[in-house]
Amino acid sequence: MDLSNNSFSGVFPSVVKRCGSLATLDIGNNQFSGRIPPWVGIDVPALKILRLGLNRFTSEIPLEISQLAELQLLNLANNNLTGLIPREFGKFSAMKNPIISSTGSQTDESNYRDRIDIISKGEEMVLQRTLQLMTGIDLSGNSLSQCIPEELSNLEGLQFLNLSRNYLLCGIPKNIGSLNVLESLDLSLMNCREPFL
């Protein structure tokens, strides 16, 4: 479901609650506001792509999002989210193991082609390829505070991580080097008061 780049407003669309088999939800670059409902992590369990960036969502990130076992791309960037980055994000199953591309495989339900806009390595790009081969988290441009959870270093299949433009006060987790397939790490413009490492 792609409703991105419109002028839709109001709260998070409740129609999604009935879409238990939905794999991609992109409502980015609209004017949706209010809280991100906790039921997203429970009633839409098949989500692989969740893009809510460039809206006006407020309050804390619901912990229930961490229950999305198949989630591989999470974009909550450029909202008005506050509070902590949930430690539970370290449980994202699909981001834990590096995904190895297999050439010559046929496209099926678990290996589909789609389109998503992401920011990686400081540049906005339109990703039109087999999305099963991309994993990443973008929480940039919010008002998230305190520390970067050590648990994020459990996501060894992560390819990009963008936490820039927040109010994270602690240093970089010591185990960040365990993210062996990480291609892009953006921690710019953060209010860090402790040494990075």
Q: What is the pLDDT of residue 181?
A: 93
Which of 13-17, 85-89, 102-106, 110-114 is least confident?
Answer: 102-106
Q: What is the mean pLDDT of residues 133-143?
A: 92
What CATH number did the domain enclosing 34 receive? 3.80.10.10
Q: What is the pLDDT of residue 110?
A: 43
Residue 195 CA, chain-centre distance (Å), reads 26
Judge residue 160's burial from the number of C-beta atoms within 10 Å of its C-beta, 0-12 exposed, 13-18 middle, 19 or more buried.
Answer: buried
Q: Is residue 124 part of a domain?
A: yes
Of the pLDDT bands very low, low, confident and very high (cuts 50, 70, 90), residue 120 is low
**Mean pLDDT for all residues in the chain:** 86
At residue 139, does pLDDT exceed 90?
yes
Q: What is the pLDDT of residue 1?
A: 93
Contact 167, 187 (CB under 8 A): no
Of the pLDDT bands very low, low, confident and very high (cuts 50, 70, 90), residue 74 is very high
Contact 1, 16 (CB under 8 A): yes
Which of 15-29, 78-92, 97-111, 171-185 is least confident?
Answer: 97-111
Q: What percent of the chain has pLDDT over 70?
A: 78
Q: Is residue 2 part of a domain?
A: no
Judge residue 23's burial from the number of C-beta atoms within 10 Å of its C-beta, 0-12 exposed, 13-18 middle, 19 or more buried.
Answer: middle
Which of 48-57, 130-139, 146-155 is least confident?
Answer: 130-139
Q: How many domains is the chain partitioned into structurally? A: 1
At residue 121, does pLDDT exceed 90?
no
Of the pLDDT bands very low, low, confident and very high (cuts 50, 70, 90), residue 169 is confident
Q: Is residue 1 part of a domain?
A: no
At residue 158, does pLDDT exceed 90?
yes
Q: Is residue 93 part of a domain?
A: yes
Give the range of the structural domain holding residue 42, as residue numbers without chain letter. Answer: 9-186
Contact 155, 179 (CB under 8 A): yes
Q: Is residue 117 part of a domain?
A: yes
Q: Is residue 194 part of a domain?
A: no
Residue 172's identity, in one-letter code, is: I
Q: Is residue 193 part of a domain?
A: no
Q: Is residue 191 part of a domain?
A: no
Of the pLDDT bands very low, low, confident and very high (cuts 50, 70, 90), residue 171 is confident
Nearest CA-CA partner of 36 in 18, 59, 17: 59
